[in-house]
Amino acid sequence: MLGIIEALINGLLMGSIYGLTAVGLTLIFGVMKVINFAHGSILMVGMFAAYWFVKLTGLNPYLAILVVVPLLYYFGYFMQNWVIKPIFEAEKDVREPITVIIVTTGIWYVLDNLSLLLFGAEYRVVKTSVTGKIFEFYDMYFLLPKVIGAGITILCAIYLYWFLKHSKMGKAIRATSLDREAASLMGIKQSKIYNIAFGMGCACCGVAACVLIPFYYVYPTVGVPFDIKAFIIVVLGGLGSIPGAIIGGIIVGIIENVGAQFMASTWTELLLYGVFLFVLLVKPSGLFGMKQDF
């Protein structure tokens, strides 16, 4: 019984990190109504940036948040402004321009192959003051970096939710997600909101990247499994729902960790996709999905 409880808590810890990655994806979709297939690759860029920050400075990896998060925010901001914005302008009468999906898929391949060219295919890991440390609680053992990472990601998700609900910019983002035309008539500059929302979605990947590197390998295709899980989580929780993304991430983390106690990893993956399909059949909008976004 103790092993099941330990697996549940481990699932919650890892699931919260999955959830923050999915929050960035659901934020971009909620505002722009497009799917960013390069989301996992942006996480990979953040992990490499955090890795080299630690390697070159020798500082605590969690301090990398102060560098990596702004870096990925502006990376996403200018990628939206220079690459995706022209597509929106060319297809301004289309609510969900399919061309963006093709472009973000191209960005995914470019980023992955560029990192492979620059850094090689080998797996990298950083040794930090918390790497390998164990947190003991009532005869249960948890990786300390996972505990710290879960705490940081939950705080970031709470702050992001508060920002969107109560700040002036957050209200402008929500207004744009609900009705682009009405928001424009109220003086909200649509293209700027898109840039900011895309940048914020990438910044979420920056936080997740910094909390992952103390216990997770860094390599050019590290973003692929996280990308797949992020899509599953977003659909489970409901497209455009930030609380849904966090809850969906926790569900995925629990299925992975508890399922591993009873079955092989391949069967755990099958169970995860089974739950995913079941939710799609029973509630296509997701657990927390609504007809309107946010």
How far from 150 is each of 17, 144, 156, 182, 203, CA to CA, in Å?
6, 10, 10, 38, 16
Q: Flag whether 235 is in a domain.
A: no
Q: Flag whether 231 is in a domain.
A: no
Phi-psi region of 253 (alpha: psi -120 to 50; beta: other; left: phi over 0): alpha
**Looking at residue 110, what is its pLDDT?**
95
**Looking at residue 96, what is its pLDDT?**
59
Question: Cβ distance 35 to 107 under 8 Å?
Answer: no
How far from 238 is each of 8, 117, 287, CA to CA, in Å?
23, 37, 6
pLDDT in tens, 259-282: 888 888 788 888 888 988 888 888
Note the maximum CA span of the chain.
60
How far apart are the C-alpha atoms of 87 and 81, rounded to whole Å? 10
Q: Flag whether 110 is in a domain.
A: yes
Q: Flag whether 286 is in a domain.
A: no
Q: Which residues of the chain are under the pLDDT cut of 70?
A: 92-97, 289-294
Residue 59 domain boundaries = 2-222
pLDDT in tens, 9-62: 999 999 999 999 999 999 988 888 888 999 999 999 999 999 999 999 988 889
Q: Flag whether 243 is in a domain.
A: no
**Looking at residue 292, what is its pLDDT?**
47
**Looking at residue 293, what is its pLDDT?**
44
